[in-house]
Structures are given as C-alpha cells and as structure tokens.
Amino acid sequence: MSIAGLAPETLIHIVGYLESKRDIRAFIETCRTFCLLRSPCLYRHNAYGQTALHLAAAIGHKEATMLLLTGKVDLKAEDNFHQTPLSAAAKNGHKAIVEVLQSAAQNSAALLLAAENGHKAVVEQLLATNLIHPSYKDSNRRTPLSLAAGNGHKAVVGLLLARADSEDDNRRTPLSLAVGEGHDTVVLLLINSGANPDSKDKHGRTPLSFAAEKGSVAVVRVLLKNGVTPDSKDFECGQTPLSFAARHGCGIVVRHLVLTDGVDPESRDSNKRTPLSWAVGSWHEEVVSILLDTNSVDPASEDTNGQTPL
C-alpha cells in the first residue's frame, strides 16, 4: 500500500518510531507534499481546527514549536475552541512555549486559561510583559482572578489581587466563587486583601449563602468572623443562609448558624417556609433534630399553601 492509502492515525503512529530529527523532518516533508496535493485543508488543520503549531504548543514540544515557527504559520489562528497556540500552551502550563510564542502573539485569553488551571509560572510570565491586562474578562465576564479563586489556586490568586471585587455576569465576585467551592484559605486571602465578604450577586445571594448551601463550615466560620450579615435574604425567594443549609442537609453548618447571634431559626422566605419546613420537605432528619432542639422553631407554622413542617 502506498502512503496515499494510509489513515492520518497511522501516519502519526509511524512518526512515533522515527528516532532522528532528520527522519522526522523528511517524513513531515513527504506528508506535507502529499497532503497539499490531495487536500490543502488536511495539512493546515485537524478535525478540531488545530494546526500543527497548536498541537506542539499544547504538549509542550519546544523543538517542534521552534521548527514550525521557521515556516509560514499563523500565530493567531484559533481552533474550534477559540484557542490560539499560545492559549493552548498556557492552558497546559508550558512556560517555555509561552515564552517563545508570547512575543509574537499576545493573547489575553491565555492568561485566563493559565489562571484557571493554576499555572503560577505561566501567569507570572504573561503578566511580566505588561501587554496583557490582568482584568481581562471571558464571555461570562469572569477575570483571571475569578477563575483562579473559584478553583482554589491560592498562589495564582496572590498574583492577581489587584481586582479583588471584579464581578462576572451574575455579579459574583472572586470571593463568592471561591466560597462556593469551599476554598477557605483563598477566601481569607481575598478578605485580607480588601475583598467585600458580604457582597451580593444579582439574585441577592451572599458568599455566606453559598457557603451554607455547600456545607463549607470552614468558610462559614471565616465569613462570620469577618462580620458578614448572618441572616441576609436573597432577592428571589427571601431565603437566609440557614434556610439554604437546612434545605441541602448541611447539618454541621445548621448547628453552627443556630448558635450565631443575629440568626433567626424561624425566619420565613417569600412563601413563608421556614428552615424547618425545608429540612422536613427534603427529608434531612439530622437537620430537623438540630432545629427542633433549639426550642426556637414552631413545627406547626404554616406556609402560603397552609402546609406545616409536620
């Protein structure tokens, strides 16, 4: 069978057995000539719109990257995922490739990907040029800081604290996102850097609300120690952090909140449902017991439909 009959996967497999750079170069040239004769698009892009430079950058292959740069390549070419070769290298933490590519093709999206994936060295490298804005936002208006905080990358967060209160499309701050994932050390770092621990998103939910819902007692303690409003209600349903914790069966958080000054165990939402009502409706027996033990709740209270917890 001639080379014309081989599938692309087979060609790639053959390359794996070539030992010298000379052999690889010769094979690439042969395939390039062949592919250009049959289909110009086949050589330029794979099924995902990725060029050879995309692939080399993504796996951190510096020698291949340098070789490809000697030819005519589009450094700003985007694949089907809107990633450039620089973005692909940044996403996977390949600092050496980022150094090679960034001088010729600045791309703020690369910073987002590096921050989201916790690649501190790459973030430092990208910020060092002062050509990429640290507050660049993605399609959901999330900054590098928001993405790093939401994924608990403390070291990267430390590099990006200049905009600690930037908001995404839902008006959630980096602190709010970090809280939702239970990253208490990142939350404390953000608060100590001036972030507002009591901010509200567009639904009126506070960081404490998200922490309570997720059962993140360590984060709940950090927030309460920093003076947040413990019984703040959201805009849509009027639920408090205690209500969210009870609804989702977070017993340890419920126990902590009912002992906190300013928390009303009998608070009612817009449908007049109490934390006890939510706990019973969701079959969270432990939470029901905790609330009843406070002697501050009414098991016979009615919601707007006339239903009681019991």
Parse the chain into domains and list their residue ranges: 243-310
Tell me what the pLDDT averaged over the chain comes to.
86
What pLDDT, on a 0 to 100 scale, did the predictor assign at position 168? 86
pTM of the shown model? 0.68
What pLDDT, on a 0 to 100 scale, did the predictor assign at position 37? 46
CA distance 133 to 288: 50
Q: At what angle do helices 120-128 and 108-116 cross, to 10 degrees?
A: 160
What is the full per-residue pLDDT of the chain (310 aa) written as tens digits?
566 556 655 655 565 455 666 776 676 666 655 455 444 544 567 788 888 888 889 999 888 888 888 877 888 888 899 899 999 999 999 999 999 998 766 678 899 999 999 999 999 999 887 677 777 888 888 989 999 999 999 999 998 887 677 788 889 999 998 998 889 999 999 999 899 999 999 999 999 999 999 999 999 999 999 999 999 999 999 999 999 999 999 999 999 999 999 999 999 999 999 999 999 999 999 999 999 999 999 999 998 999 998 7
What pLDDT, on a 0 to 100 scale, did the predictor assign at position 8? 56
Where would I find the H helices in the chain?
8-15, 21-38, 40-44, 52-59, 62-69, 85-91, 95-102, 108-116, 120-128, 144-150, 154-159, 174-180, 184-192, 207-214, 217-225, 241-247, 251-258, 275-281, 285-293
Q: Which CATH number fits domain 243-310: 3.30.470.10, 1.25.40.20, 3.40.50.10490, 3.30.70.560?
A: 1.25.40.20
